[in-house]
Structure 1
Amino acid sequence: MASETTSQLTTGVFFVHSCPKALAPHLEWALARAVGSSVSFDWTPQPILKGSVRAEFAWSGPVGTATAVASSVRGWEQLRFEISEDATASTDGGRWLHTPGLGIFHMQTDVAGNAVVSEDRLRYAMDLAGGDHQMLRQELRLVLGQAWDEELETFRQAGDGDGADVLWLHRAG
């Protein structure tokens, strides 16, 4: 019986919302190690944070590529980034968000990009909140990564309409 040696492929997008200009080449090197091929970003200035640049690119590769990318840059405290990995027919997708003040956040996503929250996590939030509706609201905001989204939104909007091209990365399994 032969074992399957090919990995299931997926796609995603890596958004670098802010990176100190001096750190940009190091980020490209780290990402190249994570995806297994050289990369070169089209960096544009990040108008929100002087001396910072931003970039975005779409990628394709084996399931788990986004995990490898997020892991390779998660300790880089000056970065603001998000990376998504699309769901496949047999795997959930994911979304990783990072800000200097909050650290890293991860959530599973379905084929439509919606957050997938486990029953156990919802029960924990309800148990923790008891009958306190405000506390339940606070726990659900945490489950959905709302603080990360709020902090990144200004940086996302700063890049809207700036003409930045999307660079596609491809990696064979």
Structure 2
Amino acid sequence: MSAVMTRGLLFVHSAPSALCPHVEWAIGSVVEKRTDLEWSPQPAAPGMFRAELSWVGAPGTGAQLASSLRGWAHLRYEVTEEPSPGVDGARWSHTPELGIFHATTDVHGNIMVTEDRIRYAYEAGAGDPGVVFQELSLALGEAWDEELEPFRHAAEGAPVRWLHQVG
């Protein structure tokens, strides 16, 4: 009998150089093998580095990876875990400013918002569409996506366009 396995990806979007070996150690303790990531400069954050890891493990490995990296200052990362028999997929996003976000995902990577979460948004809104919008935005992790998007694009070699607030 074979054990159920799943796979996923870890994107370390930005880490200071001093933190990189600690990130590798934390990952290695979860995947139970030495992890030597290929670090490259992160154009969206000069002085920071980025790396990616494709992993295979038991269902729940994504949660363990996200937890092992949670709370480190200046660390931005995302973990995905594909669905496996009897287990939904998941995504975790972390930024120093926002903390961690978790969402259940379908086979295509879409975030699934539960009926209870939608009902909560309606109830919290109490007739105010703006509050319903804010609650659903939170349920979809839009703030995390907005903050991580420049780091994702910079990782693809795309030019980074910085917008500066004036005033």
**TM-score, normalised on structure 2?**
0.91
1:165 equivalent in structure 2: none
* Contact 2:77–2:93 (Cα < 8 Å) also in 1: yes
2:165 equivalent in structure 1: none
Out of 117, 125, 132, which is 2:128 matched to? 132
What is the CA–CA distance in structure 2 between the aligned matches of 1:103 and 1:138, rounded to whole Å? 18
Identical positions, percent:
51
Structure 1 position 161, deviation (Å)? 3.2
What is the CA–CA distance in structure 2 between the aligned matches of 1:132 and 1:77, rounded to whole Å? 36
What is the CA–CA distance in structure 1 between the aligned matches of 2:120 and 2:3, rounded to whole Å? 35
1:112 equivalent in structure 2: 108
- Report the RMSD for the aligned CA atoms in angstroms: 1.3
What is the CA–CA distance in structure 2 between the aligned matches of 1:130 and 1:80, rounded to whole Å? 35
What is the CA–CA distance in structure 1 between the aligned matches of 2:110 and 2:128, rounded to whole Å? 26
What is the CA–CA distance in structure 2 between the aligned matches of 1:136 and 1:54, rounded to whole Å? 35
- Higher relative contact order by CA 8 Å / sep ≥ 6: 1 or 2? 1
**TM-score, normalised on structure 1?**
0.88
For 1:87-98, what aligned pairs fall within 5 Å after superposition? 87-98=83-94
After TM superposition, the runs of 4+ consecutive aligned structure 1 residues lying more than 2 A away are none
- Aligned pairs, how many? 158
5+ long unaligned stretches in structure 2: 159-167
Structure 1 position 112, deviation (Å)? 1.4
What SS does structure 2 have at the residue aligned with 1:113? coil
5+ long unaligned stretches in structure 1: 163-173
